[in-house]
Structures are given as structure tokens and as C-alpha cells.
Chains A and B, each alone.
Chain A
């Protein structure tokens, strides 16, 4: 596990400079377009657009890191969906166990591409948006400050606990503790000595951290100001309009009967 688990890539691209809210608007367009259609040719458009954008903003290492997940989800979806739809069209493969028709393949391919489009779209967002920008974006769309504070704090604590979880695992291994076994119950039981130190280390600091916050006048009900407030400029408005237009056009095309299997 790398020391920095974040997928954010610090670059100065057009997407990086956008406000988190406008990126959410753009993401909405990608997600609606991927959701609206079932035909793999039509679903391929938002998938390809997201992928090209991801590579352009320097997200290729992230994609490589997660390609196993994308491929696995794609293949599982592709294997599962034919059993859940009506057969139709030409028989492409006939075996003693059953046959696969053209419609089943297209349906499964469309659904698998949709899964991939959602993942690549989400990856594009987290690649171009830092944790602080995500929290600021949440606050700026009206999510209560206390909730945003909890998310922001959790995002900051997460790498620390991730490191301590790995340290505990290595420390217990050095003492001869073995984690393993193919039996799920035995495997799970072997985690007990690892989980207790992680829990207690994390919980022990809650009182101190709460006191430190209150000593500095922490109040979730008051109006807050942010040091790093991102402006919402013309480019952001244009991107939001583009995202909404893509979403509306996708729904309209779908209602006209385009993009179905």
C-alpha cells in the first residue's frame, strides 16, 4: 500500500481548475447518458469521452491501478446479464447447457459498459478534485457544515488509520501472528488481534480532539468562512450547462426510441 492512498493527481488542466460543483454537473451528464441507453454503441460514447478525458488530465496511472476492478466488474456483468434478459435475434453460440443470442450479448455488453462508464466517470472526478475541494463543493451546494466537517476530518484521518492498520498488521506478524486460512470463519477470527489495537488507537483520541476543537471555539451552527474558496466563473457555468444539456438530450433521445437493444 502506498503512503498516499489518494487518487487525486495534482495538475493544472482545464478540469482541475473547474469548481467541484461544475464538475458534479458534468458528471451528472455523463452518468445520465450512460444510464439512458442500453445499446452498447450508444453507451460507448460517454464511456469513451470519460476515458479520453481521464487520460488527458493525467489519470492513466489511476486507471492502471484500478484496471483490475474495472475489468472484473465488466466481465462479471457481461457473464451475469444474459441470464436475466429475453433471448432474441440470431443464436451466436449454442452449447449443451444453453445458447446465447445476439440480443443477450448486446444487452450484457451495454450493461457492462454502463458499469465501466460509471467507474471511469467517478475516477475522472476524484482524479481532478482534491479532498478539500470535494468538501468545499459539498458545503457550497448546501450540505450542513457539521456533516462537511465530519467528511473532511474523516478524509484527513483515513490515511493515518490506514497506516496504523498496516503497522499493526506488520507488528502482529513480527510477533508470529498468522492471518490466513481458506476457511472464511478461521480467516475472520484471525483478524481479532489486529482489529482491537486499530479500534482503540482511533477511539482513544476522540475526547482529546473534541476538547481541542471546543477550546478553539468550534461551533457547527455558526456561519463559516473558507480560506481556499474556489470562484464559480464563466467556464464553470458553461460546463454545468453542457452537463445538463447532455443529460436532457440523452433522456430526449431515449424517449424517441434511440439507443435501445
Chain B
């Protein structure tokens, strides 16, 4: 986890944060395609950025995605308390890519994400990473807006998860195929920019446990959160939000989210990265 702090010492990583943020914000507005819910969300090709840039620029993409989403809020007029959760959600959206790649045990392809060799296995790994990152982002934002009492978890959780996953899974592989080798030749991969001592010194077993834990918790959080919100199978707290936390959302939803988020932070703090070992 220390790379998320030590990267701020490197000028090129700082510039990458700014560039990722600016590109992310710039692509969210003009390339908003098919509108799903007016004013709330559309099929946005820009959503592919956090995961693919996360795989190339590591921690810079995590910070860049978070800042890019904040800038989008400022320029799109949706800046407010929800922007804090948008910031955190997009931070994890950008961070999980490099944390999970190579650390997913049987799901991992064992090669760098250039879609040149073992393309089929890379696709499987990429989909797993995309789903986990999208689920984490969706769960954090949906939970945050539930805490603020703005939208029920099931509304935004479902929309953000599907929207992020669709854009990332469809656009990610071709974009990585076309851009990864060029950026590698430029020497701008995070593994080229960060010093060895800046990268997390984590054993393979611990890194895999953390990565699989992050994958599981992200998916479980979004699925259980939506189920509770929708009242699936008569979960007692279900759709009825009679028991609310202050004027926020359902107490159980908020408690579940708080526990999941703490586990998420714990797993992140013990997580590692394996891309530096996979790159030739």
C-alpha cells in the first residue's frame, strides 16, 4: 500500500495523476453515449479508463481516477457531499487493476496485460479484474449515497456496476492491445517509474489472499447490498427502510457497508502487486 504514498515523490507519477484525471474527466462528458437514466447515468466509454490505466500506471491511475471524477462533478454541476464517495469509489476503481493482476491464483494468466500471449486466459483475468473493480466502485458510491439518503443502494449499485463493467470489459482488451506496448516503450509503466523500495514487499501467498479477498468482498458487497435493498427472499430489513440511521438510509445497509469497507481497507493494506515480476 505504501506505493500509494511514495509515488507522490516522483514528478512523472505526479504528472501521470494529472493527465489521467484530465483525460478521465474529458472523456466522461463528450463521449456520454446511450442514456440509461436521464441525468444519472449513460453508457460512458470513459469508464474504461480507471482499470486500463490502473494496469499501466498503478497508483497514479488510482489517484487520477479519483481526481478525474471529482473534476467531472465540478464541471458537470454535481459537486456535493456525494462527491466524497465518488472520489473514494473511483480511487478503488483505479487501484484494483494493478493490485489484482497476477494475484488471482487460478484466474491469473501469468503474463503482462498486453493481450499478445495467452489472450484467452488474459481475457478471463481481465474480466475478473474489471468485475471486481466495477463492483467495488459501485458498492462504495451506492453505499455512500444511501448513507446520505439520496438514492437507495439498489438503484445506483446496479446502474454503476453494470455501466462500469460493460464499458471496461468491451473496451478494455482492444485498448490495452493497442496502447500497452506503446506506453511500455515510452517507459511510463508504473513499474518503470517507481523504485523497487517503493513497491509493496509482500509475499506471494499474502498478495494472493488479499487479491482474492478484495475480489470476493467487492462482488459480495454489491450483490448483498442490492439484495437487501430489493428485499430479495424476504430479508427482514429488505425494502422497508423504516429503521433508518438518522435521516440517512437503512441502518442495516449502512452497517453492512461500514463492515465491508473496513475489510476492504484491511485487505488493501496487506495487498501487493505482481506486475513488476511479470514484465519482461
User: Given contacts A196-B175, A207-B186, are A218 and B11 in contact (CB under 8 A)?
Assistant: yes
User: Given contacts A68-B38, A115-B150, A203-B19, are A150 and B63 in contact (CB under 8 A)?
Assistant: yes
Is A241 positioned at the interface, with any CB of B under 8 Å from its CB? no
**Minimum CB–CB distance for B236 against chain A, Å:** 14
Within 8 A of A (CB), among B6-40: 8-9, 11-12, 14-19, 21-23, 25-27, 29-31, 33-34, 37-40
Check B71 against A220 for contact (C-beta < 8 Å): no
Most chain B Cβ neighbours within 10 Å, of A37, A66, A154: A154
Most chain A Cβ neighbours within 10 Å, of B12, B149, B246, B248: B149
Check A69 against B77 for contact (C-beta < 8 Å): yes
**Minimum CB–CB distance for A49 against chain B, Å:** 15
Q: Which of B101-109, B177-185, B197-205, B254-262 contacts A (4 or more CB under 8 A)?
A: B177-185
Check A158 against B26 for contact (C-beta < 8 Å): yes
Query: Which residues of the other chain, A, contact B171 by a CB distance below 8 angstroms?
Result: 188-189, 191-192, 195
**Minimum CB–CB distance for B240 against chain A, Å:** 6
Query: Which residues of the other chain, A, contact B280 by a CB distance below 8 angstroms?
Result: none
Give the number of residues in A that approach B within 8 Å (Cβ atoms). Answer: 85
Is A125 positioned at the interface, with any CB of B under 8 Å from its CB? yes
Give the number of residues in B that approach A within 8 Å (Cβ atoms). Answer: 72
Check A199 against B14 for contact (C-beta < 8 Å): no
Is A161 positioned at the interface, with any CB of B under 8 Å from its CB? yes
Within 8 A of B (CB), among A149-168: 149-151, 153-155, 157-158, 160-162, 164-166
**Minimum CB–CB distance for A168 against chain B, Å:** 10
Flag B162-199 by CB within 8 Å of A: 1 or 0 each: 00001100110011001100110011100000000000
A203 to B22, CA, bound (A): 11
Is B74 positioned at the interface, with any CB of A under 8 Å from its CB? yes
Check B152 against A84 for contact (C-beta < 8 Å): yes
Query: Which residues of the other chain, B, contact A121 by a CB distance below 8 angstroms?
Result: 80
Check A126 against B74 for contact (C-beta < 8 Å): yes
B interface secondary structure, majority: helix
Most chain B Cβ neighbours within 10 Å, of A72, A196, A199: A199
Flag A198-226 by CB within 8 Å of B: 1 or 0 each: 11101111110110011000101100000
Give the residue name and chain of the A residue nearest to B248 (CB): A35
User: Given contacts A84-B239, A165-B26, A188-B33, are A122 and B80 in contact (CB under 8 A)?
Assistant: yes
Most chain B Cβ neighbours within 10 Å, of A66, A158, A189: A158
Query: Which residues of the other chain, B, contact A200 by a CB distance below 8 angstroms?
Result: 179, 182
**Minimum CB–CB distance for A108 against chain B, Å:** 11
Is A47 positioned at the interface, with any CB of B under 8 Å from its CB? no
Instruction: Give the contacting residue for A85; candidates B27, B74, B242; CB below 8 A.
Output: B242
Most chain A Cβ neighbours within 10 Å, of B18, B82, B248: B18
User: Given contacts A72-B40, A118-B80, are A161 and B18 in contact (CB under 8 A)?
Assistant: no
Check B81 against A196 for contact (C-beta < 8 Å): no
A81 to B249, CA, bound (A): 11
Is B122 positioned at the interface, with any CB of A under 8 Å from its CB? no
Query: Which residues of the other chain, A, contact B17 by a CB distance below 8 angstroms?
Result: 150, 154
Check B11 against A73 for contact (C-beta < 8 Å): no
Check B22 against A158 for contact (C-beta < 8 Å): yes
Query: Which residues of the other chain, B, contact A125 by a CB distance below 8 angstroms?
Result: 79
Check A206 against B170 for contact (C-beta < 8 Å): no
User: Given contacts A35-B149, A195-B171, A202-B19, are A76 and B11 in contact (CB under 8 A)?
Assistant: no
Give the residue name and chain of the B residue nearest to A62 (CB): B77
Instruction: Give the contacting residue for B188; candidates A71, A151, A188, A207; CB below 8 A.
Output: A207
Query: Which residues of the other chain, B, contact A126 by a CB distance below 8 angstroms?
Result: 74, 77, 79
Check A196 against B178 for contact (C-beta < 8 Å): yes
Instruction: Give the contacting residue for A198; candidates B23, B174, B241; CB below 8 A.
Output: B23
Besides the known contacts A73-B39, A154-B19, 9 further A-B residue pairs in the complex with CB atoms under 8 A apart: A38-B149, A122-B73, A126-B77, A155-B22, A157-B19, A161-B23, A161-B26, A188-B167, A207-B187
Q: 28 A-B pairs, CB-CB below 8 angstroms?
A: A5-B29, A31-B80, A37-B247, A66-B77, A68-B38, A72-B40, A80-B152, A86-B240, A118-B82, A119-B78, A121-B80, A126-B77, A150-B17, A150-B21, A151-B18, A151-B21, A151-B67, A154-B18, A161-B27, A169-B31, A179-B33, A184-B33, A184-B34, A189-B170, A191-B33, A192-B174, A195-B31, A220-B14
> 5 nearest interchain CB pairs?
A72-B39, A122-B79, A161-B26, A157-B22, A153-B18
